[in-house]
Structure 1
Amino acid sequence: MATMLSPTDSQQKRADPGHWEWQYIDLMRRIWEHGDERIDRTGVGTRSVFGAQIRFDLSDGKMPLLTTKRVYWKTATRELLWFLTGDTNIRNLCAQGVEIWTDWPLDRFRKAASSDISRADFSRRIVDDADFAAEWGDLGPVYGKQWVDWPTYQPNGDGTFSPGPGINQVAQVIESLKANPGSRRHIIEGWNVAELDAMALPPCHKTYQFHVSGNRLSGLLYQRSCDLGLGFAFNMWSLALLTRMLAQQTGMEPGEAVWMGGDVHLYLNHAELVEAQLTREPAGAPRLEIVRRPDSIFDFRIEDFSVVDYSPQAHISAPVAV
């Protein structure tokens, strides 16, 4: 059982009561103290609430980086750039030292091969052996495939169908933002019902919608399932970053990043992370500088992004539930 904090603890005097991160800390506290305890898909168990919202003002370069623990924003950025390539194999990520998707194919390989290979050795083999990567490194049609190559099918005239041209939702949103900014259809969708069973993990951050007010572009993410302890920090960063990138490419100013969670949960084996983070106070206002404007949103490189004024408290580690 988690340690229950007293009302005095949860309403402690805050040095910066207006800091956006209190939305996150207060949500974490509410879930940990009052969430519905349940057995989940992983078997680890969670405490959860249904329905939550966090908002962040993106003006003046500000970015929603958690300050109560270190967030490895370059890793999250590399993942987003990988999504935009449409790639679904972890080989490119592993070559960059990004291991956030490795556990799913690793688990599949261990079970199939009755092997206890370490993650480091598995990742090294993925990078070094193209054939091994092709067999064991693919995640199925996850995020990037749906974002930039949503499958279509065309009738052959005999009752059968053949693959048609893929739909690049990201490119379509950019064009619609330019041509019809007042549209309510600026959406990038990852939840392809026909292909869910082929994915290593169905999309958690499933639906992005963008909204133009004046010359300000805001982005909203609906996330069906959110691991608040580990996943949220990357999800919020990626929402804000994608909104910033789209704003740059369409000649707009950043507005808000609005995150909405469906099943928002904390894993029961994350007690040390939760209780440590709840004792910390948010502070500071990190900012992102995009140092280059490429010809296309698909041409960004990791070197194009620079974060300043980020002085987080120490990283808090916790196990990933697969």
Structure 2
Amino acid sequence: MASAHPVPKPAAATHPEQAYLALMRTIWTQGDERVDRTGIGTRAIFGAMLRWDLADGAMPLLTTKRVYWKTATRELLWFLTGETNIRPLVLQGVKIWNEWPHARYVRETGEAMSLDDFVARIADDPAFAEKWGDLGPVYGKQWVDWPTWRYRKDGLYEPGPGINQVAAVIDGLRRDPAGRRHIIEGWNVAELDRMALPPCHKSYQFHVADGRLSCALYQRSCDVALGLPFNLWSAALLTRMIAQQTGFAPGELVWMGGDVHLYLNHAGLIEEQLARTPVGNPTLEIVRQPDSIFDYRIDDFVVHGYEPAGAIKAPVAV
């Protein structure tokens, strides 16, 4: 006999991407509006957190717009080389750093070369790229070759051997998983004025519990519409790579933002994305385990089940 009171169905689990959309909505509707460094203007809040469980291959790969995860992956692999010139990225079709050296070229030469022509010359002319394509000691340089100085007998200082923070973290995790000093730091105060852009995703700390490796990323400044989708993917990918190299299972990505903002000229992107609903749960497979964290290739990474809504374009603030 049928019950007079049907048993309610369990509520569907909240899609993990909803937390990102909620953050975007809060900033857009409640954020403090201000004129920023770029002159474009933002709405911002101070202090935010997102958490993403990386178990079973899960990744923070947004589905409410297409995120070009291979571009973000190529950038991460470039960081791990310690390279600071955009030419290797340009030759792979990665465009995300082009605006900064182009702006410096126009400012210092007074020549109104278009961005497309500048990038083409970076690709075709290694000498031009060496002079104009360098970003200064940004992310990768600090990650794998943090500068040191040593005192000489004559009372002067000279450059010492660089510190490879990534290799040190991996070694530390293997030797002392319970340690609280597994940190990769990008904020080198002594070299900030030489960087095209001081590091936004600046501090990574790794933590092991129950055989799972988690990462907490602190980001001092975050463009939530364009930057954060890449930042989440890259931090999770780095965590997955280090987990593979150290023999731990992937744990959780904990992202924390300081000045978390949306640019006023991104209104179309924001409103379109907030009208969309997350679908599916894409996963990442790492198909090969190289001998070193520095030996991964782009074809080592395969994403399954990613069927996002279409891309939404918006200008980058420089």
Q: Same fold (TM over 0.5)?
A: yes
C-alpha distance in 1, partners of 2:50/2:155?
48
Shift of 1:283: 1.3
Asked if 1:175 corresponds to 2:188, the answer is no
Alignment of 1:87-102 (within 5 A): 87-102=83-98
Shift of 1:246: 0.3
How many residues align? The count is 308
Are the equivalent residues in 2 in contact too, given 1:16–1:283 (CA < 8 A)? Answer: no
Identity, % of aligned pairs? 68
Alignment of 1:266-281 (within 5 A): 266-281=262-277
Q: Which runs of 5+ in 2 are unaligned?
A: 1-10
SS at match of 1:191: coil
Residue 198 of structure 1 corresponds to 194
TM-score when scaled to structure 1? 0.94
Asked if 1:294 corresponds to 2:290, the answer is yes
C-alpha distance in 1, partners of 2:293/2:114?
36
After superposition, the CA RMSD in angstroms is 1.0
The runs of 4+ residues in structure 1 deviating greater than 4 Å are: none
SS at match of 1:170: helix
Shift of 1:112: 2.0
Residue 204 of structure 2 corresponds to 208
Asked if 1:124 corresponds to 2:120, the answer is yes
Residue 5 of structure 2 corresponds to none
Shift of 1:111: 1.8
Asked if 1:39 corresponds to 2:24, the answer is no
Amino acid at match of 1:108: R
Shift of 1:114: 2.1
Q: Which runs of 5+ in 1 are unaligned?
A: 1-14
C-alpha distance in 2, partners of 1:111/1:173?
39
Are the equivalent residues in 2 in contact too, given 1:249–1:296 (CA < 8 A)? Answer: yes
C-alpha distance in 2, partners of 1:102/1:76?
14
Asked if 1:260 corresponds to 2:256, the answer is yes
Amino acid at match of 2:121: R
Aligned partner of 2:56 among 60, 69, 75: 60
Residue 83 of structure 1 corresponds to 79
C-alpha distance in 1, partners of 2:113/2:283?
40
Residue 19 of structure 2 corresponds to 23
Deviates more, 1:217-226 or 1:108-117: 108-117
* Structure exhibiting the larger radius of gyration computed from Cα positions: 2
Amino acid at match of 2:226: L
Shift of 1:156: 1.0
TM-score when scaled to structure 2? 0.95
Shift of 1:123: 1.1
SS at match of 1:93: helix
Aligned partner of 1:243 among 227, 230, 239: 239
C-alpha distance in 1, partners of 2:157/2:108?
33
C-alpha distance in 2, partners of 1:156/1:268?
53
C-alpha distance in 2, partners of 1:17/1:50?
28
Amino acid at match of 2:151: P
Asked if 1:141 corresponds to 2:125, the answer is no
Amino acid at match of 2:292: S
C-alpha distance in 2, partners of 1:79/1:298?
13
Are the equivalent residues in 2 in contact too, given 1:225–1:262 (CA < 8 A)? Answer: yes
